[in-house]
Amino acid sequence: DTAVSQTPKYLVTQMGNDKSIKCEQNLGHDTMYWYKQDSKKFLKIMFSYNNKELIINETVPNRFSPKSPDKAHLNLHINSLELGDSAVYFCASSPDSVNTEAFFGQGTRLTVV
Amino acid sequence: SQQGEEDPQALSIQEGENATMNCSYKTSINNLQWYRQNSGRGLVHLILIRSNEREKHSGRLRVTLDTSKKSSSLLITASRAADTASYFCATVSNSGYALNFGKGTSLLVTP
């Protein structure tokens, strides 16, 4: 069974559209994350949730809105997509804080045209 | 803020050789972690070394940590073509709820 699964794997959409990426973890972890990886492979934290509560919002435009309906899910909704949003988005989870290892999903490659 | 900085950015070696990647970071840490990312895949945790540890082994991996120099190294011994991937070091942010990644080292192991 996949520990951290995110869908879709690929997403191609036009500028101005609204899209969502879903993430689920079956590890029983308390903390979930969204990271963005740019074309140079640089990974940057976007959001961190602990027990459904937002812990970190790293200067992400408010067009990005995470939603955590329960501890096992952290979805990412993006409004009014822009070209610069094209990247690979990774969901991850860890038992509590990341003083232990984090488990990553396979990534969602978002291409805005 | 970005914590880890790996070097080299790219490394190309032949199977059987050892690969060494270095990571430097800026602030005090509780632990430092290394991750591998195969092309088109998610990151996979390799090893975690705590600030009170100097060296740690896992199979063909050896990680060292020098907190006085704020640096770590990852050594892969007897490399294989399957080790071809990007390798990232990561430190925990001040909040404890995020990993700050370096830019990674892209390793190519040729048969």
Range list of β-strands (E), chain A: 4-7, 10-13, 19-25, 31-37, 43-50, 53-57, 64-70, 73-78, 87-94, 103-104, 108-112
Using a CB–CB cutoff of 8 Å, tell me whether B87 touches chain A.
no
Q: Residues of chain A with pLDDT > 90: what percent?
A: 78
Instruction: Label residue B1 by pLDDT band (50, 70, 90).
Output: very low
Burial class, B111, CB count within 10 angstroms (exposed 0-12 / middle 13-18 / buried 19+): exposed
Which residues of chain A neighbour B106 with C-beta distances below 8 Å? 41
Per the CB < 8 Å rule, is B103 touching A40?
yes
For A55, the closest of B40, B88, B97 (CB atoms) is B97
Which amino acid is located at A2 in the chain?
Answer: T
Residue A14 pLDDT more than 60? yes
Per residue in A20-56, pLDDT tens? Answer: 999 999 999 999 999 999 999 999 999 999 888 888 7
Burial class, A86, CB count within 10 angstroms (exposed 0-12 / middle 13-18 / buried 19+): middle
Per residue in B41-85, pLDDT tens? Answer: 999 999 999 999 999 999 999 999 999 999 999 999 999 999 999
